[in-house]
């Protein structure tokens, strides 16, 4: 079977079986429910902070769900994974494109697509209304990643996990400065900062302690990777988020190692 044929077969199977998979894993927290977050969330209440001890931020060249599985049993029910999303089409038009981008990769391996309601789309990419996203609290991850031919994990294998997914879109194809290191329009930088802060607040406000993040907008959306990495770092180190997360991992899948190398360097020795 060709790779595109395999992806189509898996996509159709995942869509057809998602309701049953969710029902099977309801005792583990699986649900088809989700909520659309239409605006920035309030500043976190410091009095509710769990006060986790400082920990080193990891950057791995990995699929996001594989990174989530690496947290181990102690993280069960406490994991949130960032979906580097489209705000124009449900799962980026996954069922038509059958592509390999991060959002589509998550959909092949899980029940994520089933939670992304068509009624949520589109929402603005920049400007008013763009700091928004979808919170899916109980997504079943039942398959391995694309590099491992999307092999399904048997129920008894212990490799299936249920995670929360944070669906937030970075600015798409923004105009850049002449050196291509910054946004030409300063308002786009403010939008990006708002989106990053929303991701962190979504995770923390739902008491998720183990977070898998990614290189927001640094692939098909053509945002400058050094700028994005530094913004994600600076906001993560803001006092607002101190003590909220037990472990943060950036999963930056990069065969050419470009974005991975950038994030690895920016987050070198960073401790929350």
Q: Please report, for the chain, the start and end positions of each structural domain, with discontinuous segments joined by +.
A: 3-266
- pLDDT tens, 196-249? 999 999 999 999 999 999 999 999 999 999 999 999 999 999 999 999 999 999
Q: Which of 52-61, 132-141, 254-263 has the lowest mean pLDDT?
A: 254-263
> Quick one: how many helices (H) and strands (E) in the chain?
8, 7
- Residue 121: pLDDT band (50, 70, 90) is very high
- The Cα–Cα gap between 93 and 99 comes to 9
Cα dist from 96 to 89, 93, 125, whole Å? 11, 6, 21
What pLDDT is recorded for position 96? 84
What pLDDT is recorded for position 41? 99
Q: Is the pLDDT of residue 256 over 80?
A: no
Q: Which of 81-85, 96-100, 118-122 has the lowest mean pLDDT?
A: 96-100
- Residue 98: pLDDT band (50, 70, 90) is confident
Closest CA to 204 of 253, 171, 166, 168: 166
Provide, rounded to the nearest whole percent, the portion of the chain with pLDDT above 70: 100
Whole-prediction pTM: 0.97
Which helix (H) or strand (E) is 113 found in, with range? helix 112-115
Q: Give the mean pLDDT of 143-151.
A: 95
**Cross-strand partners of 135:** 35, 166
Q: Give the mean pLDDT of 32-53.
A: 98
Q: Which of 41-50, 95-104, 183-192 has the lowest mean pLDDT?
A: 95-104
Q: Is the pLDDT of residue 23 over 90?
A: yes
- The Cα–Cα gap between 139 and 127 comes to 30
Average pLDDT over all residues of the chain: 96
Is 3-266 CATH 3.30.930.10? no
Q: How many CA atoms lie within 13 A of 44 on its CB side?
A: 26
Q: Is the pLDDT of residue 254 over 90?
A: no
Query: Do the Cβ atoms of 209 and 50 come closer than 8 Å?
Result: yes
Q: Is the pLDDT of residue 107 over 90?
A: yes
Q: Give the mean pLDDT of 137-166.
A: 96
- Residue 255: pLDDT band (50, 70, 90) is confident
């Amino acid at each position: 079977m060709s790779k595109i044929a395999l992806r189509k077969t898996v996509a159709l199977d995942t869509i057809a079986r998602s309701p049953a998979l969710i029902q099977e894993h309801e005792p583990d927290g699986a649900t088809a429910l989700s909520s659309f977050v239409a605006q920035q969330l309030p500043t976190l209440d410091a009095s509710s902070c769990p006060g986790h001890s400082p920990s080193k931020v990891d950057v791995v060249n990995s699929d996001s769900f594989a990174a989530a599985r690496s947290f181990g049993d102690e993280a069960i029910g406490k994991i949130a994974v960032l979906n580097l999303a489209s705000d124009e089409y449900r799962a980026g038009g996954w069922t038509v494109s059958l592509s390999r981008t991060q959002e589509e990769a998550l959909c092949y391996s899980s029940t994520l697509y089933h939670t992304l309601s068509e009624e949520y789309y589109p929402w603005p990419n920049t400007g008013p209304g763009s700091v928004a996203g979808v919170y899916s609290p109980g997504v079943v991850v039942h398959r391995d990643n694309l590099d491992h031919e999307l092999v399904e994990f048997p129920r008894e294998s212990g490799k299936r996990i249920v995670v929360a997914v944070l669906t937030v879109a970075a600015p798409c194809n923004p105009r850049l400065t002449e050196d291509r290191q910054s946004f030409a329009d300063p308002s786009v930088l403010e939008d990006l900062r708002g989106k990053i802060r929303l991701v962190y607040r979504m995770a923390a406000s739902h008491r998720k302690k183990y977070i898998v993040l990614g290189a927001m907008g640094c692939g098909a959306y053509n945002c400058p990777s050094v700028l994005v990495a530094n913004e994600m770092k600076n906001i993560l180190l803001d006092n607002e988020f101190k003590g909220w997360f037990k472990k943060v991992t950036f999963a930056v899948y990069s065969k050419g190692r470009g974005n991975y190398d950038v994030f690895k360097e920016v987050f070198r020795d960073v401790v929350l």
